Structure 1
């Protein structure tokens, strides 16, 4: 398969007073189209910094980032905003829903920025909410829903415009174990159905186990890469080949 993301010699240095903190240290990585990839590691390993680089939320100190052949490391803020709107979706640990909006309104919001007519926006938002099991919560606001339900709304919002790449940053960090499995099955299931590239950031091995490729990070670089058969959780045993 062709690499949809290609990172070469990526470096990110933060200046903290008189100190220099190297968050990414000449990191190189490729992620293939349709792959479910987990950036795995402990706090401070560089995984969240890498996600921010890939999503265009931060600029690298040096190195290159190609996504769909586009050099996003060179893009200005306007170009990045347009690129994210067209190709990228996000699922956050903190849900990031707008409290004054209903589930339907939260999910349809990204489509407003794409100029999609209201009738079509509502149709697509309702389809996604039904897909995540919230067809009976269309008119509920975030404070009327559980944490798991709010995260499902967040997932529906991330997928509503069928992004080419979806980033999930510690997507189950605020959820209990049972809800964690439900949410991960939803995220990975939709990504597989639409052949989307999914990049998950986590420090939890249970979450990493959902990925087809686990990129373990340490001290701002790739320590090892593990491939799996990416079978549905609980069905069969996974086989591993470590590079």
Structure 2
């Protein structure tokens, strides 16, 4: 059984009297441990597809099954509990809490899981070292570069070891060199922990980091293919060695 099954999903928005079809009937299956990049231009429907798979939007028609659960009709409360246990997010704009340190930001998902403070700090420390920020744990977001903030965001997404990581344009605010480093870190962690990573991007170079490339055009899947594995995690491992030196 696939980890995620998207079955005939349509999404139609109504703007005044106009009907805008964001997704025109998408069906696909994503396997456990797969690194999947969804590529498309602005307005193609790629972010809408991610939001529906993550329960942030409801489909107009169709069905979503995740880890054997039909989540299509979940209430907001059911989705909140499901995401807490199964899903992590990496955002384009980082979404870090400005008053908290890197360590406190990374530990936050574990608070909602009821993890004790000592264990939270231990796990957050381990994950920050894994993304090469072992010497930046006490820094607040305003004291870090965009690339460093995104590494904190990645550590936060992975710290509770969810089944699925959704990343919506995670390199959209970064330069090309930092973008490659950030993707290498995410892919490396996903492989290390055998977690499913789904990345939405408009950048074809970023999309090449996946095991699988899905292209969305005008709300439909136009291309779906396996890719040759790319080296990943090197930047993270190098930074981790420096931090621990």
- TM-score interval, smaller chain: over 0.9
CA deviation map 1:72-93 (0-9, x unaligned): 1110000000000000000000
- In structure 1, the residue matched to 2:19 is 20
1:124 and 2:123 matched = yes
Q: Is the 8 A contact 2:64 2:71 kept in 1?
A: yes
Give secondary structure in 1 for the equivalent of 2:213: strand
- In structure 1, the residue matched to 2:243 is none
- In structure 2, the residue matched to 1:79 is 78
Give secondary structure in 1 for the equivalent of 2:104: helix
- In structure 2, the residue matched to 1:30 is 29
TM-score, normalization: structure 1?
0.94
- In structure 2, the residue matched to 1:176 is 175
TM-score, normalization: structure 2?
0.93
- In structure 1, the residue matched to 2:2 is 3
1:187-198 to structure 2, matched below 5 A, reads 187-198=186-197
CA deviation map 1:168-220 (0-9, x unaligned): 11001111111111111000000001111100000101100001110001111
Q: Is the 8 A contact 2:210 2:230 kept in 1?
A: no
- Please state how far the C-alpha of 1:71 moved relative to its aligned partner: 1.1
Give secondary structure in 1 for the equivalent of 2:85: helix
- In structure 2, the residue matched to 1:230 is 229
CA distance in 2 between partners of 1:192 and 1:138 (Å): 24
Gaps of 5+ in 1: 236-243
- In structure 1, the residue matched to 2:95 is 96
CA distance in 2 between partners of 1:46 and 1:177 (Å): 24
CA distance in 1 between partners of 2:205 and 2:91 (Å): 18
- In structure 2, the residue matched to 1:150 is 149
CA distance in 2 between partners of 1:48 and 1:163 (Å): 20
Give secondary structure in 2 for the equivalent of 1:14: strand
CA deviation map 1:106-140 (0-9, x unaligned): 00001000000000000000000000000101110
- In structure 1, the residue matched to 2:110 is 111
